[in-house]
Chains A and B, each alone.
Chain A
Amino acid sequence: MAAVSNQAPGQLDQNFGGDALTLKPESYMSMVWRRFRRHKLAMAGLCFLLLMYLVAVFAPYIATQSYRHTDPPNRLQAPSQEHWMGTDNIGRDLFSRVIWGSRISLSVGFVAAGVAVLLGTVIGALAGYFGGAIDNILMRFTEIVMSFPTFFLLITIVSIVERSIFNIMLVIGLTSWPGLARMVRGQFLSLREQEFVLAARALGASNARIIFRHILPNAMAPVIVSATLRIGGAILTESGLSFLGLGVQEPFPSWGNIINTGRTFLRQAPWITAFPGIFIFLTVLSFNYVGDGLRDALDPRLKD
């Protein structure tokens, strides 16, 4: 091999020490956080959600009464000094019920989205990485699950299985993974052909190493975004089920079943519906903003 140019080898490093290298090394997470912080609505959403989770955790200390304490003479009271959000049709303190109800709504979102993410990621990853027959079988299955109208499927299952909070979370999770699976599959399909994955294979890396060390970390950004949006979706679904009387059972409160109670008294006592409604609205909105903020912060194509 002959010399290529008249440049002496010693000069090779001359243009090093340039722009990029004077920067302090910044970890990926701190870069994401820095970009997320710039998104004002996402930050507001995040603050609201943190507050809501504190409320859920400390519900027993925040609630002014027991959520099941009835006081029929004081039924359908408008908001007042004593009952900040008024009372419902059997005189229970609404503020206390809404505070306790946050536990259900917020945990439903997390568990259901968690189940969906786990299932969707595993199925999508296997299909996308191995391709061929595995892909075919898994994707046909995904399409079948996808083609059921989700809400009717939910209603059917919920009316068959025992109606515990845990079952409801599980059922919501089990019906909402297909979209995620398709997305993860797409990510795997394109990432597995990337040169850094080929390089790892050329070094002799095992399938497990390639999947967990090389592909998954690069495929997770859209999954995290979609999971965040899905938490909001799951909260809405639970509310919908409870509204139809298929969700969390009385006397335990969830935002959905409080609204269900309020439905009958919409004219006389609109506050019963309004307060849990506002909380559902703000929580779901916050999750959507946080999801948007994450999408921008995690997108490697957007430079700073």
Chain B
Amino acid sequence: MDKTWNNSLNHASTNNGLDTGNDDVLLEVRNLKKYFPLRGGVFSRVQGWIKAVDDVSFDVYRGETLGLVGESGCGKTTTGKCILRLEQPTSGSVLFEGKDVLSMTSEELRTLRREMQIIFQDPYGSLNPRMTVGDIVGEAFVIHGTASGHERARRVEELLKVVGLSPYHARRYPHEFSGGQRQRIGIARALALRPKLIICDEPVSALDVSIQSQILNLLNELQDDFQLTYIFIAHDLSVVQHISDRVGVMYLGRLVELTDSETLYSSPKHPYTQALLSAIPVPDPDHKKKRIVLEGDVPSSLEPPSGCSFHTRCSYCQDICREVRPEWREIEEGHFIACHLAE
């Protein structure tokens, strides 16, 4: 990788005090809710609400990777979109470096776009098939008027090199690339504005296993070189295990457990986390683990179960679980959980 280029790009941010360590909160999400109206009937009246994200709170520290895990449809993408205001949340607050994202004017929001970016899951749907790779990666410079002409072309070439592509790829169209290469193009696009936070929405789920680790390695390198903070979304605990500093587990639009990876993987407290972990195959044959099988289907987020939304599938379920929604509380320092029985 081109070191001089990295240095020149890093220059701006090294003065920003990025080395203050993990105590520095970059993003604060509080009581975030996103309800989608479900319309139907003759006059398309609202017949109910899909609670895609239902009262989610967490912090993201500068320089860390926060894994966000949960089954399909549990609201991970919606959470990400709300943070970026690609989706207007129903309520709650999102503070980026102390600035309230949700009350920003469109002008303030444009400035914020340079700080937060997103990498998508689908390597095919995330690149405009009618634009060249150069135009895709360089679009940020056009929108923000930060570089034009030769300067833009040069910056695009540098970005392509940084993600492991060649400068001559800039003239080609997305359909000429493989899935892994396309994902690199998406990463280059997200990097163009030198953001502080990148939301990686299942960036490797659609790729072959052999390609997955290449992309994860690239993201890992970029995090060091560009002092990036990641929110890394995945539907499977095994993917985020190695790359996350902390992991949050979501179920039906709610966070159920959040703590540092080591604690989460060695001593999970929430029954749902335990069930998810027990489903991961363990390479060591001596390591006997009881497999907890989750019974039943994920209930609909249209009418989530009362009380603890996991109670329909939880083997520890008590009366209180059916009636009272468990509070999101910190049981040990940095270990958050929503379960009546955890202590």
Chain A residues close to B by CB (< 8 Å) = 1-5, 7, 9, 12-13, 16, 18, 20-21, 23, 25, 28, 194-196, 198-206, 209, 213-214, 217-218, 300
Q: Which one, B2-10, B174-182, B277-285, B292-300, is touching chain A?
A: B174-182
Ranked 7 nearest A-B pairs via Cβ: A204-B113, A5-B213, A195-B126, A4-B216, A217-B130, A195-B120, A196-B128
Q: When chains A and B are docked, how far (Å) is the Cα of A28 from the Cα of B128?
A: 13
Selected from B81, B109, B117, B218, the residue in CB contact (under 8 A) with A12 is B218
**Do the beta carbons of B129 and A218 come within 8 Å of each other?**
yes
With a CB–CB cut-off of 8 A, which chain B residues contact A204? Answer: 109-110, 113-114, 140, 143-144
A-B contact pairs, 26 of them (CB 8 A): A1-B219, A1-B230, A1-B243, A1-B245, A3-B217, A4-B243, A5-B216, A7-B217, A9-B1, A12-B164, A25-B171, A28-B173, A195-B122, A196-B126, A198-B86, A198-B118, A199-B118, A201-B86, A202-B84, A203-B113, A203-B143, A203-B192, A206-B143, A209-B143, A217-B128, A300-B129
Q: Does B186 sit within 8 A of A, measured CB to CB? A: yes
Binary flags per residue of B266-305, CB closer than 8 Å to A gives 1, else 0: 0000000000000000000000000000000000000000
Q: When chains A and B are docked, how far (Å) is the Cα of A213 from the Cα of B177?
A: 21
**Do the beta carbons of A20 and B177 come within 8 Å of each other?**
yes
With a CB–CB cut-off of 8 A, which chain B residues contact A25? Answer: 171-173, 176
Chain B residues close to A by CB (< 8 Å) = 1, 65, 81, 84, 86, 109-110, 113-114, 116-118, 120-122, 125-131, 139-140, 143-144, 164-166, 169, 171-173, 175-178, 181, 186, 189, 192-193, 213-214, 216-221, 223-224, 230, 242-245
Selected from B130, B176, B244, the residue in CB contact (under 8 A) with A20 is B176
Q: When chains A and B are docked, how far (Å) is the Cα of A290 from the Cα of B234?
A: 47
**Do the beta carbons of B118 and A7 come within 8 Å of each other?**
no
Q: When chains A and B are docked, how far (Å) is the Cα of A198 from the Cα of B81?
A: 9
**Do the beta carbons of B181 and A16 come within 8 Å of each other?**
yes
Selected from A12, A23, A201, A218, the residue in CB contact (under 8 A) with B130 is A218
Selected from B84, B186, B192, B223, the residue in CB contact (under 8 A) with A1 is B223
**Do the beta carbons of A4 and B120 come within 8 Å of each other?**
no
Q: When chains A and B are docked, how far (Å) is the Cα of A220 from the Cα of B252?
A: 39
**Do the beta carbons of A214 and B128 come within 8 Å of each other?**
yes
Selected from B181, B221, B244, the residue in CB contact (under 8 A) with A9 is B221
Selected from A4, A16, A196, the residue in CB contact (under 8 A) with B242 is A4
User: Which residue on A lies nearest to B178, using beta carbons?
Assistant: A20
Selected from B110, B126, B165, B173, the residue in CB contact (under 8 A) with A199 is B126
User: Which residue on B lies nearest to A209, using beta carbons?
Assistant: B143
Q: When chains A and B are docked, how far (Å) is the Cα of A208 from the Cα of B129?
A: 19
Q: When chains A and B are docked, how far (Å) is the Cα of A202 from the Cα of B186?
A: 12
Q: When chains A and B are docked, how far (Å) is the Cα of A196 from the Cα of B213?
A: 24
**Do the beta carbons of B65 and A1 come within 8 Å of each other?**
yes
User: Which residue on B lies nearest to A19, using beta carbons?
Assistant: B178
Q: When chains A and B are docked, how far (Å) is the Cα of A62 from the Cα of B16?
A: 78
Rounded to whole Å, the gap between the CB of B203 and the closest CB of chain A is 12
Q: When chains A and B are docked, how far (Å) is the Cα of A196 from the Cα of B124?
A: 9
With a CB–CB cut-off of 8 A, which chain B residues contact A300? Answer: 129, 175
**A194-B217 contact given A1-B223, A200-B139, A201-B86, CB 8 Å threshold:** no
With a CB–CB cut-off of 8 A, which chain A residues contact B171? Answer: 25
Q: When chains A and B are docked, how far (Å) is the Cα of A198 from the Cα of B143?
A: 14
Rounded to whole Å, the gap between the CB of A138 and the closest CB of chain B is 15
With a CB–CB cut-off of 8 A, which chain B residues contact A5? Answer: 213, 216-217
Rounded to whole Å, the gap between the CB of B228 and the closest CB of chain A is 9
Q: When chains A and B are docked, how far (Å) is the Cα of A28 from the Cα of B176?
A: 12
User: Which residue on B lies nearest to A204, using beta carbons?
Assistant: B113
With a CB–CB cut-off of 8 A, which chain B residues contact A194? Answer: 125
Q: When chains A and B are docked, how far (Å) is the Cα of A25 from the Cα of B177?
A: 11
With a CB–CB cut-off of 8 A, which chain B residues contact A3? Answer: 217, 220, 242
Selected from A28, A196, A203, the residue in CB contact (under 8 A) with B127 is A196
User: Which residue on A lies nearest to B171, using beta carbons?
Assistant: A25
Q: When chains A and B are docked, how far (Å) is the Cα of A31 from the Cα of B179?
A: 21
With a CB–CB cut-off of 8 A, which chain B residues contact A195? Answer: 120-122, 125-126
Q: When chains A and B are docked, how far (Å) is the Cα of A202 from the Cα of B120?
A: 11
With a CB–CB cut-off of 8 A, which chain A residues contact B242? Answer: 2-4
With a CB–CB cut-off of 8 A, which chain B residues contact A12? Answer: 164, 214, 217-218
